[in-house]
Amino acid sequence: DAGVTQSPTHLIKTRGQHVTLRCSPISGHKSVSWYQQVLGQGPQFIFQYYEKEERGRGNFPDRFSARQFPNYSSELNVNALLLGDSALYLCASSLALSEAFFGQGTRLTVV
């Protein structure tokens, strides 16, 4: 069975640009969450979506947004990129109140 898949794996953007990161959950999982992991730190919660509705938001600016599609895949969008947005962005899916399964992440570099 396919795990959580994220695309792209690596991305380089310029300050001020916009970026879209994509995530496909494990088949049957209806919940998707996004995390930002800056080098040397633990992941920080950004968003959670369940059944296409936002169920939680972390302490991130409005430049960060996300959505979940009818097939439960998800996109994370970041506008007006800053150097500090450089990080590994992790997507996780879950069946219910259980363990989260993480994808391999998208490494975003802002230059």
Partner 1 sequence: AQSVTQPDIHITVSEGASLELRCNYSYGATPYLFWYVQSPGQGLQLLLKYFSGDTLVQGIKGFEAEFKRSQSSFNLRKPSVHWSDAAEYFCALSQGAQKLVFGQGTRLTINP
With binding defined as CB under 8 A, does residue 44 bind partner 1? yes
With binding defined as CB under 8 A, does residue 103 bind partner 1? yes
Please say whether the beta carbons of 32 and 91 come within 8 A: yes
Q: Least distance from C-beta 57 to partner 1, angstroms?
A: 10
With binding defined as CB under 8 A, does residue 14 bind partner 1? no
With binding defined as CB under 8 A, does residue 96 bind partner 1? yes
With binding defined as CB under 8 A, does residue 97 bind partner 1? yes
DSSP letter for each residue of 30-72? -EEEEEEE-TTS--EEEEEEETTEEEEE-S--TTEEEEE-TTS
With binding defined as CB under 8 A, does residue 25 bind partner 1? no
User: 3-state DSSP: the chain helix, strand, coil percent, rounded to 5?
Assistant: 5, 50, 45
Tokens of 39: 């080098």
- Contact residues toward partner 1 (CB under 8 A) are 4, 31, 33, 35, 41-45, 48, 50, 55-56, 88, 90, 92, 94, 96-97, 99-105, 107
